[in-house]
Amino acid sequence: MKRLALIVATLLCLLAPASAFAAAPYDPLGDACSSGGGVNGVQGASACSATTKNTVTGPNGVLKKVSLIMAVISGVVAVIIILLSGFRYITSAGDAQKAASARSAIVGAVVGLVVIAASESIIVFVVSKI
């Protein structure tokens, strides 16, 4: 039990810096477009004048943000399940029932990751078309 607590604490410490990068989105074109020089010195470049629907305000932005947060949390849980099931598979010591249980958990978590990625891409596609 102490080993499991140590593994979970280590994973949380490794994932904690990710929240700092998620706090404020960086706009790479913001600096170039706000300087008045356009992109690569070209005034009125299409990258600066294009209107984007990628805002955080409004119902579409909130839906995108909530779905992204849920996808990240679900993805982290699926990866933790894969790691723990891999550990259970390695330590099954030849017991066929334990190995089969761990193998089915790994397959289920991988299928879950595929479903999470597909659903997130569908949500982003649909919301961007609205």
- 121 and 81 in a common domain: yes
Yes or no: say if 82 and 109 are a contact pair by the CB < 8 Å rule: yes
- Distance (Å, whole) CA 46 – CA 109: 42
For the chain, what is the domain count?
2
DSSP string, 92-122: TTT-HHHHHHHHHHHHHHHHHHHHHHHHHHH
Model pLDDT for residues 38-68, shown as the tens digit of each residue: 445 555 555 555 444 445 556 667 778 888 8
Which structure tokens are listed for 82? 């894969």
- 107 and 86 in a common domain: yes
* 9 located within any domain: no
Between residues 33 and 104, the one the model is more confident about: 104
* 101 located within any domain: yes
Domain boundary among 16, 37, 52: 52
Residue-range definition of the domain harbouring residue 122? 57-130
- 122 and 87 in a common domain: yes
* 104 located within any domain: yes
Q: Which segment of 9-13, 42-46, 60-64, 106-110 scores lowest on mean pLDDT?
A: 42-46
Determine the pLDDT at residue 54.
47
- 127 and 107 in a common domain: yes
Asked if residue 22 has pLDDT above 70, the reply is no
Mean pLDDT of 72-84: 93
Q: In whole angstroms, what separates CA 89 from the centre of its chain? A: 26
- 97 and 62 in a common domain: yes
Determine the pLDDT at residue 76.
92
* 6 located within any domain: no
- 31 and 71 in a common domain: no
- 70 and 115 in a common domain: yes
Asked if residue 37 has pLDDT above 60, the reply is no
Between residues 80 and 16, the one the model is more confident about: 80
Task: State the number of CA atoms in the 13 A half-sphere of 121 facing the CB.
Answer: 6
Between residues 90 and 8, the one the model is more confident about: 90
Bridge partners, 129 (sequence order):
none
- 102 and 43 in a common domain: no
Asked if residue 36 has pLDDT above 60, the reply is no
